[in-house]
Amino acid sequence: MLFVGKGDSLQLDIVGIVAILGEGSILRNAQASALSWHHVLPRLIPAPQALLKHEQTGRLPTQTGIVSGVYSGNVRHELNFFTRLLHPGELKRFQIEVVEVCRNDEYDDRKDFIFGVNDYGVLHALSCLGCLMSCALLGLSIWRKDGFALIATILLSLTSTIVGFASRWRLIFKEENPRNPEEVIPDGDVVIYYPGPGAFRVIRCNEVVSRLYFQAEECEYLLNDNWYRALAMVGSATLIFGLICLGNAHTVLQIGFATSYIILNALYWASSAYHEQHHWSHAYTVTPIEIHLPTRKGTKLHDVEISRQAPLSSPVSPLRKSSVQLEANGLPPPNPNRRLSLTGFRKISSLAVPRKQPEAVDKVKLPESLESFTDILWIAIALTRNTRWLRSPIVPDTEVWEAWVAEATRQAAGEPEKLDGKILLPRWDYKAKLKELFTEEKKEKKRRPKWPTLEQLNTLVPPAHEEKPQARIVPIVRAVQARMRQESESTTRAVHFADGAELTISPIDEADERDLM
């Protein structure tokens, strides 16, 4: 077997490849790093070519979801980066969460700060470490009198600086504060729907904070596209010549470069495994609000029953354009207490104490568990006491669901009852109502006249070789056939999001289908 006998005979041409590995870990936090001052430090960085993109990215990454304003009616069919940063936790299937968001008092002296990259964090430490390694290799090259290693160190270090200037950017994302500080800021609660797990997140906040959920973050780059491409070309040239010089350096220096890049690759990979919230900071406090939901098995507090809600005669706000006929008397007057008190929302119980109910009050059948889309949808409506946010494609756009949502709005409207500082949800058997509406729709369809099938229509069409008086109706019949065939082959309507994901119009989940059978 043949082995290298002397150190000078060792070939390390692979070092150049090690220097350009690790693109995935670099791209993971590329935008966050380019927002900080340490991004322009001359240093060693793995895979610097990953930062030389074909074109500059104009936005921060988004997420699939629907954001709806409870009172404003604003709708956005994607979650901006600010939303991802404030609410990083993933919700379980058919889960509902209530949180309160307000500005942190610690940032009163920084009115313009909304969110940004940590000035001193993991990315800052990695940049400083790469700079120290570059200085160490520079000194080692001078001490060993290795000209190629010296040039390679300078060129590879300058590559990171050139790329850093080319990708440097500034965040455009501002909070719209009122001109008069003494003005009363109205409530601006927000509901976020996650189509993947079918979950809801209800956010209690004022109007100033709620507008941040509907803004789009913009990246304002230091250089325009022409200068960016020019610096990218210069950076590519310095990287190529640096790798050529590195391949001709002495073995000792090549070992030093290989060790440095292996360590940096491992550390950058570890930093990419961190969640985004470890690299970013924001000026808001997010307080989760505990909820106790009613089930047949009871709650953590005690076994109790749903509170009774008196029927409401006042009209409700319109849901969709086809439900205007439900509004005979117009919109209700604005209610200054339209949202639930945050102090009373610290713990939410949907139940009342197990006292004897009047005989005229029918008991509501509680579900075994809240594990269906209808369950959390009704709870979200009851918590917000509003359905303007359902103008977005969250529920199926059918007459049955419109009628059900209209009834849910009437049941949830008005000032809620309270018991021992806890909010009581209205007493309403929402699943029975939905089942009743579907039953009525089924009966209505049976009463409708049946249209002839395609086979029956074919009997009206004479063969091509026959000449009959009925031949003049042939084009009409064939047009009807084509129209019916086109409608039968049409696919399910879908909603497309900015990140390329696709969401079909919310179907009834399996649990709901079982309850409706």
Return the pLDDT at 4.
45
Cα gap 173→191, rounded to integer Å:
21
**Which pTM does this prediction carry?**
0.69
Return the pLDDT at 344.
41
Cα gap 309→355, rounded to integer Å:
15
Q: What's the CA dihedral at 309, 315, 319, 320 to 10 degrees?
A: 150
Cα gap 108→372, rounded to integer Å:
42
**Domain definitions of the chain by residue range:** 8-59+115-172+218-280
| Chain centroid, CA 416 distance in Å | 31
Q: Which two tokens stand for residue 100?
A: 């309160």
Cα gap 240→168, rounded to integer Å:
22
Q: Which two tokens stand for residue 21?
A: 């590995």
Cα gap 283→490, rounded to integer Å:
48
Nearest to 382 by CA among 351, 353, 360: 351
Return the pLDDT at 390.
86
Return the pLDDT at 358.
40
Nearest to 115 by CA among 100, 128, 104, 126: 104
Return the pLDDT at 340.
45
Return the pLDDT at 479.
74
| Angle between helices 225-247 and 147-166 in degrees, nearest 10 | 160
Residue 202 in contact with residue 191, Cβ under 8 Å?
yes
Residue 83 in contact with residue 54, Cβ under 8 Å?
no
What b/e readout covers 441-450, taking b as 16+ CB neighbours within 10 angstroms?
A: eeeeeeeeee
pLDDT tens sequence for the chain (517 residues): 444 455 555 555 667 777 788 788 888 888 888 888 888 999 999 988 888 887 788 888 889 999 999 988 889 999 999 999 999 888 988 888 999 999 988 887 787 888 988 888 889 999 999 999 999 999 999 998 989 899 999 999 999 999 999 989 999 888 877 666 666 778 889 999 999 899 999 999 998 899 999 998 888 898 888 888 899 999 999 999 998 888 888 888 889 999 999 999 999 999 888 888 788 989 999 998 877 665 544 444 333 333 333 333 333 333 333 332 223 233 344 444 444 444 444 444 443 333 444 433 344 555 555 678 888 898 888 888 888 888 878 888 888 898 999 898 888 887 666 666 566 677 788 888 888 988 888 888 777 677 666 666 666 655 555 555 555 566 766 777 676 666 555 544 444 444 454 444 444 455 555 555 5
Residue 285 in contact with residue 102, Cβ under 8 Å?
yes
Return the pLDDT at 330.
32
Nearest to 49 by CA among 144, 163, 152, 149: 163
